[in-house]
Copies of this chain bind each other. A is one copy, B any other.
Amino acid sequence: MKALTQTDRRRRRAPTIYEVAKRAGVSIATVSRVQQQPSRVAAPTRDRVERAIKELAYRPSRLGRSLAHGSHDATGIVFPDLSGPYYSAVILGYEEASAAQGQSVLILATHRRPRTVEQVLHLADRVDGLVIMGRTVGDDVVEQLDRRGVPMVLLARPPAAAIDSIRSENRRSAEALVRHLIEHGHDRIGFVGDPADSADVAERFEGFLAAHRGAGIQPAFDPTPSALRETDGRAAAITLLGRADRPTAVVGANDEVALGVLDAARGAGIRVPTELAVTGWDDIPMTRHVSPALTTVRQPMFDLGRRAAALLHERITVDPAEPRHETLPTRLVVRSSCGCTAPAEEKEE
């Protein structure tokens, strides 16, 4: 009996439209019509077909359908390595909006492997369009895909050529952030992060410089290069804080880096914020929970994903003449790691 059950469970050939047609005593065209435009089929016929469909538990093959129709009804999103809250939030936003549009979502993480390019091209073959995050692939690949006619949206990547893009504002908020630190009296401010690493970081660093210029002071340090994980930030900060002329404030390229800085400071016995101010970027959930609570810049990660889905969908369906380049607003969130005692904007919204 057990073997029977096994057999029973075994991969079954799914019923095709032909079997439904035969059972209902109609042609396959009619079966197809019943699914596409039921109104164009006489009620009695329709009933027979629907019964047959039910009885056979028929589901049209996506592959057949897609091949005939010429579209995948799916899109893909390419993101960097296995990262934290930032990427999850973007992807969730993307998934939500895509699902609402009836599009399936394929994800691809580029694990910094050499096969990345191949994988991205491969992915492009099975979707109607692609969202490319940051520096996951080179411009050459983007161009190649564009030439091939693959609808794309670049996310958190400098607007290239004539391709739609979406990102959030960095420069102005970074300037506001650093200005805030300067107003706290800091004039020896470090920057932990690598401007060469991503456009986002580069722009944040530009804002950092702009704030200095605005205050008429020279940056006391070059950026301390660091990847965007906490452990990278910690390592970089250990170097930076070990200097005799160490900074009195450190701007982290993102929240995770800032947490690493916090940790490094703790390890070095440096008090935050009294001896060292620290700021982050993103406003991930954790920022509220650390002590001192992290002053940061909130960026609308979920909306970034959602909006990317919308842009891509338009690109696929109507293909607007002009490329769109959107920048979502960000906002300084002052907590206590910058030295503020009565946090101005601690409330959730």
> What residues make up the interface of A, taking CB atoms closer than 8 Å to B?
5-6, 9-12, 14, 57, 59-64, 66-67, 72, 74, 82, 84-85, 87-88, 91-92, 95-96, 99, 104-109, 111, 119, 121-123, 125-126, 146-149, 151, 162, 230, 259, 285-286, 289-291, 302, 319, 321
Contacts and interface: CB of A to CB of B under 8 A. Distances in A.
Nearest to A102: B122
A109 B92 contact: yes
Nearest to A67: B63
Contact of A149 (B10, B66, B123, B319): B10
Contacts of A64: 67
A74 B74 CA distance: 12
A109 B105 CA distance: 10
A57 to B, nearest CB: 7
Given A149-B9, A286-B286, A108 B95 contact: yes
19 contacts: A11-B149, A12-B149, A61-B67, A62-B126, A63-B72, A74-B106, A84-B88, A85-B85, A85-B88, A87-B88, A92-B109, A96-B109, A96-B111, A105-B108, A259-B289, A286-B286, A286-B289, A289-B290, A290-B290
A88 B79 CA distance: 13
A202 B290 CA distance: 30
Contact of A99 (B109, B147, B285, B289): B109
A99 B95 contact: no
Q: Which 10 A-B pairs have the closest CB atoms?
A: A88-B88, A12-B149, A63-B67, A82-B92, A62-B125, A62-B126, A286-B286, A11-B149, A289-B290, A291-B291
A65 B313 CA distance: 25
A20 B87 CA distance: 40
Contact of A107 (B105, B148, B289, B290): B105
Nearest to A122: B104
A319 B12 CA distance: 13
Contacts of A230: 285
Contacts of A108: 95, 99, 104-105
A104 B88 contact: no
Nearest to A63: B67
A147 B104 CA distance: 23
A206 B186 CA distance: 54
Contacts of A147: 57
Contacts of A14: 148-149
Could you say which of A85, A126, A319 has the most chain B C-beta atoms within 10 Å of its C-beta? A126
A343 to B, nearest CB: 15
